[in-house]
Structure 1
Amino acid sequence: MAPTIARALTIAGSDSGGGAGIQADLKTFQELEVFGMSALTAVTAQNTLGVQGIYELPPQAVAEQIDAVVEDLGVDAAKTGMIANIEIMEVIAEKVKAYAIPNLVVDPVMISKSGHSLLNEDARLALKRYLLPLATVVTPNIPEAEVLTGLQLDSMEARKEAARMIIGMGARSVVIKGGHLPDGEAEDLFYDGQEFSILSSPRFETPHTHGTGCTFSAAIAAHLAKGEAVLSAVRQAKAFITAAIRHPLHLGGGHGPTNHWAHRLQEGKA
């Protein structure tokens, strides 16, 4: 009998502080009523103040985790987060192709909120070579899109050109997040190779934004796992992360985590 529940896999690093990485992804999957599974790429020692240590897993360990999940439980959508080295990227790409994993969301995690580099230059090039061509949607923020394209994204036209370039790298669609823009509403730019869409939401002045990229991309993966079209999945993920930022938890002394159950507060469910 075919599964009746959507299944989503996160392939990313662990965040000991619980605000980002696989912890944020699994919380998001659960909130959106999707069964969440994980394949760890690294273990980090971190909190709201910064990253104190990164400990990469062997590529074989990543491969075996993906094998174990796909061969028994199955995967309707997957997302990638922090992938610290080229060998792990190669393994992920091989497994995505071998298992024909649908609906791959690539969050090109490069720098933590505290400014800690999570991806070296060689790995950034490998990201474009191995993972972007397999992506259903790529979710860079402004600095990440600038690194991927070499452009300075100081205007909407520049952002559109960057989106075209990322599609040219093989991705089926891209959403360039606007949270790093200096003022106005938080405008995300979506492009599927044919049409542009601008997704706007209120901007909130808050330090509690740790894990926003992880949560946003996980929400997209969750909705794709449930059979939503890509733009619809992105719109619903935008609403989810906006609620999570709007209702902060006020935890920690630095960049605090977002509130993964905030959408229930808005909908009167809690």
Structure 2
Amino acid sequence: LAAIITPNADEAAALTGVEINDADDLKAAAEMLVRRGATAALAKGGHLAGAYVEDVLVTQDGAEIFKNRRIDTTSTHGTGCTLASAIATGIAQKMPLRDAVARAIGYVHTAIETAPGYGAGHGPLNHAHPCKTCG
């Protein structure tokens, strides 16, 4: 079984039927996913409007909101896949889930911040940045 699921706001809404407009709605949807059997759910708020991105981690132990300044960029192609992979890396390294999520969010934030700016559409992240200050 999966240790965690990582739906964005639209995916969480489709899975739960919850209309998602803010972090409270993300939390409600993630709690519903955990009640339905997910070990943990990280409902991601990157698709929502606002000056900050709020991601909500829910486990059987409770909920935590990770809040980061939104970066004005189009270099966002692959953010969800990168985040899930970074979380999986932390889990494989035997990190507690909360720490793996925090480090992964920090890694993706820096990867967006330092993206090379290629292309005319949604460009790639900078996956090669050092992760000394992530999470």
Which residue in 2 is equivalent to 1:138? 5
In structure 1, C-alpha distance between the alignment counterparts of 2:23 and 2:80, rounded to whole Å: 21
Aligned-CA RMSD value: 1.5
Match of 1:153 among 4, 9, 20: 20
Output the amino acid matched with 1:241. V
Secondary structure of residue in 2 paired with 1:164? helix
Which residue in 2 is equivalent to 1:242? 109
Output the amino acid matched with 2:74. P
1:255/1:155 Cα in 2 relative to 1: closer, same or farther (>3 Å)?
A: closer
Answer yes or no: is the 8 Å Cα contact 1:141–1:178 preserved in 2.
yes
Structure 1 unpaired stretches of 5+: 1-133
Which residue in 2 is equivalent to 1:196? 63
- Runs of 4 or more, structure 1, over 6 Å off, are none
Larger Rg: 1
What's the CA shift for 1:235?
0.3
Answer yes or no: is the 8 Å Cα contact 1:185–1:201 preserved in 2.
yes
Counterparts of 1:1-270 in structure 2, within 5 Å, are 134-262=1-129, 264=130, 267=132
What's the CA shift for 1:184?
2.3
Output the amino acid matched with 2:45. G
TM-score where L is the length of structure 1: 0.47
Structure 2 unpaired stretches of 5+: none
Higher-strand-fraction structure: 1
1:155/1:255 Cα in 2 relative to 1: closer, same or farther (>3 Å)?
A: closer
Answer yes or no: is the 8 Å Cα contact 1:135–1:170 preserved in 2.
no
